[in-house]
Structure 1
Amino acid sequence: MKLLMLGGTEFVGRAITEDALDRGWEVTVFHRGRHAPPRGTSALHGDRTAPGGLDALAEGEWDLVVDTWGGAPTAVRDSARLLCERAGRYAYVSSRSVYAYPAAAGIDEDSPLVEGSPDAGSTAYAEDKRGGELAALDAFGDRALLARAGLILGPYENVGRLPWWLNRTARGGPVLAPGPRDLPLQYIDVRDLARWTLDAAAAGHDGAYNLVSPAGHATTGSLLEACAAATGGRAELRWTDPDLIQKAGIQPWTELPVWVPEGEMHDFMHRGDVSKALAAGLKCRPVEETVADTWAWLRSLGGQAPQRSDRPAPGLDAEREAALLGL
């Protein structure tokens, strides 16, 4: 297989590129040149947001294009239109954020969606991703695969959610653990996302798939306990009532990454229907493996994970944590 990876040097794109290389595929990485692509790839450079930024893609043929773009849908539109006669299939890594909010638990691929346009500039993340989906579909039709990923964790993470918990538990001592301990989580290891996307595209699957683990594959407890174990067991998880956390003004998701309390948002994010992807071969590794491998990668960087410039670093200030725990 000949793969054109649009991106391919960070987090999701890097995991997909490495998976393709492990399969023995011929991989071309198109990127801006800010980070080195994995060894074994061919590199083309360009900026999709600049005039003439796709010139390096004017020639060439590929079996599959994979695109992770999350900005203005016009970038997906222009790439897909340019490549539709010279590429077999187009896999777009989208997001479960494209579903209209609020929504009851059990969101599946036929649930209502936000509005979006392939001709729009960047507006908001959900609308941008939906516009990207429409751009891929407009150009490739039934040769387009839409992988609607949920929360993505694992090595190379440049958003900071799992790295923050790992560094926090590595520091040891009492740790604010948001209850309840058995609250189910849905996420996907970036390597499982990569494997499924390439498998599904190679098998000729098309259309939209919710790409996240089954609800309850992990819980808040199993995730944080895995973090504590992987980082040496010096952390004392203190499970705390979510009402107390919110009354203290501590923000779910941003200050306590991954976690959202039970209710409307939790139903939306962590209780989706993934039966279609499971039937198409999705397999999710244990949370302990995701955590241990991410910690090993993080240690190789001296504990300092890369951070996307367009996302604020998540995490809770140590003084605020200590105040709530009465320390």
Structure 2
Amino acid sequence: MRILVIGGSVFLGRAIVADALRRGHEVTTFNRGVSSPDLSGVTAVHGNREVPADLDRLVEGREWDAVIDVCGFTPAVVLDGVRRLNGRVPHYTFISSISAFPGYPSVIGLDESAPRHECPPDADASLGEYGVLKAGCERAVEEFFEGKALIIEPGPILGPHENLDRLSWWLTRIEGGGRVLAPGVPDLPMQIIDARDIAAFTLDQAERGATGRYFTTGEPGKITFGEWLGLCVAETGSDAELVWVEDEFLLAHSVKPWTELPLWLPRGPMTSGIWTPSSAKAVAEGLVCRPVAETVRDTWAWLREIPVAERSFGGRLLRHGIDPEKEARILEQWDHHISG
């Protein structure tokens, strides 16, 4: 197949391109050429999807069998691209997000049948936040693409080459050893999915011309937060000691959920569904999630190629994560708290 990947150089897009090349497809990537180098073997077209002249240059004299849009965030921009691709490609896959649903992360067992955020398909970036705009992007593809449309809606994604500071931050912090601030409770069930598994499922569906919407959020109950961090300790060979600190204590000491301690949200009515969305529909169509231990191992192998100074707090790779001094201060205060 001839596949156009809009994006294609970073994390999930990179995984899709790598898998497509392994399968023998002809891949064209369209991106700004800024975030990361394109993989060897692709036809790279550099440009900005927000610039009409760049889109015109992309499509001039070219046709594809499928397009996979990995980096659409503004409905009006996606819509403009859709209109230019009409007649040049019969199948359009849009990588969206489970955040397109207002029920996430509060609704337990959320699936594709739930209502999405209200957002028109021609909205500009000022209309809403990430999830709202993603819902509008989905509508731009579903309502205006003159061919088959497929929507992939991932939850939190992990794996090698990640650019979201989740598993990469925890591995880097745990590598440093010592007492590590672990949030909440260790027996909290998680859903973890590897970018490479989403890539494989996406390409499988594109190859068969599938349509509709699919959650790709991993299988629930396969691992707990404690087991996940335990894998990080084992893989790095660190002497790290995980110190579990209650949600309420962390909030009282101004720890920012999700960003300062990646993948942590305090338990409560508004977050009770964070690790429960259903990927049953995708699993029935062939989604396979590799063992979490494999994701941790391969991400650690990738990270070890990057100097620690470049990926530690404040380095070029990791933007999120708690400041080491703040972490140490909270751990000391926690010791005083539990000792009475």
Q: TM-score normalized by structure 2?
A: 0.90
CA deviation after TM superposition for structure 1 residue 148, in Å: 0.4
- Structure 1 CA distance for aligned equivalents of residues 49 and 197 of structure 2: 27
Distance 1:287 1:76 in 2: 33
**55-64 or 39-48, which moves further after superposition?**
55-64
Q: Which residue of 2 aligns with 1:318?
A: 324
Deviating above 3 A after TM superposition, structure 1's stretches of 4 or more consecutive aligned residues are 303-307
Q: CA RMSD in A?
A: 2.0
Note the alpha carbon deviations across 1:271-296, whole angstroms, 9 max, x for none.
Answer: 11111111111111111111111111
Structure 1, gaps ≥5 residues long: none
1:155 pairs with one of 155, 160, 164:
160
1:8, distance to aligned residue in structure 2 (A)? 0.7
The answer for the alignment partner of 1:61 in structure 2 is 63
What amino acid does structure 1 have at the position aligned with 2:117? V
What is the rounded CA distance, in whole Å, between the counterparts of 1:319 and 1:32 in structure 2? 37
- CA–CA separation in structure 1 for the residues paired with 2:264 and 2:100: 20
Unaligned stretches of 5+ residues in structure 2:
336-340
Work out whether residues 2 and 63 of structure 1, in 8 Å CA contact, stay in contact via their aligned partners in 2. Answer: yes
Q: Distance in 1 between matches of 2:144 and 2:52?
A: 20
Q: What SS is found at the alignment partner of 1:109?
A: coil
- Aligned residue pairs, count: 324
Q: Deviations over 1:25-56 (max 9, x none)?
A: 11111111223210011111221112412022
Contact 1:158 1:306 in 2 (8 A): no
Counterpart contact for 2:102–2:115, Cα < 8 Å? yes
Contact 1:71 1:125 in 2 (8 A): yes
Choose the corresponding residue for 2:121, options 118, 121, 130. Answer: 118
The Cα of 1:104 is off from its aligned counterpart by: 2.1
Identity of paired residues, percent? 44
1:15 matched to 2:33? The reply is: no
Q: For 2:113, give the aligned amino acid.
A: D
Q: Give the Cα–Cα distance (whole angstroms) in 1 for the partners of residues 60 and 323 of structure 2.
A: 49
Code of the residue aligned with 1:178 in structure 2: it is P
Q: Give 1:203 deviation, angstroms.
A: 2.2
| Conserved 8 A contact 1:58-1:82 | no
Aligned-pair CA distance for 1:141: 6.0
Q: Deviations over 1:97-147 (max 9, x none)?
A: 011146420111111211112211113101211111011112336611100
Is the contact between residue 169 and residue 231 of structure 1 (CA under 8 Å) also seen in structure 2?
yes
Using the TM superposition, give the Cα deviation of residue 305 of structure 1 relative to its aligned residue in structure 2, in angstroms.
Answer: 5.0
Match of 1:270 among 267, 272, 275: 275
Find out whether 1:4 has 2:4 as its counterpart.
yes
Of 205-214 and 44-53, deviating more is 44-53
What SS does the aligned partner of 1:262 have?
coil
Q: Is it true that 1:196 corresponds to 2:198 in the alignment?
A: no
Q: For each residue in 1:13-34, what CA deviation from the matched residue of structure 2 results, as whole angstroms up to 9, or x when unmatched?
A: 1110001001011111111122
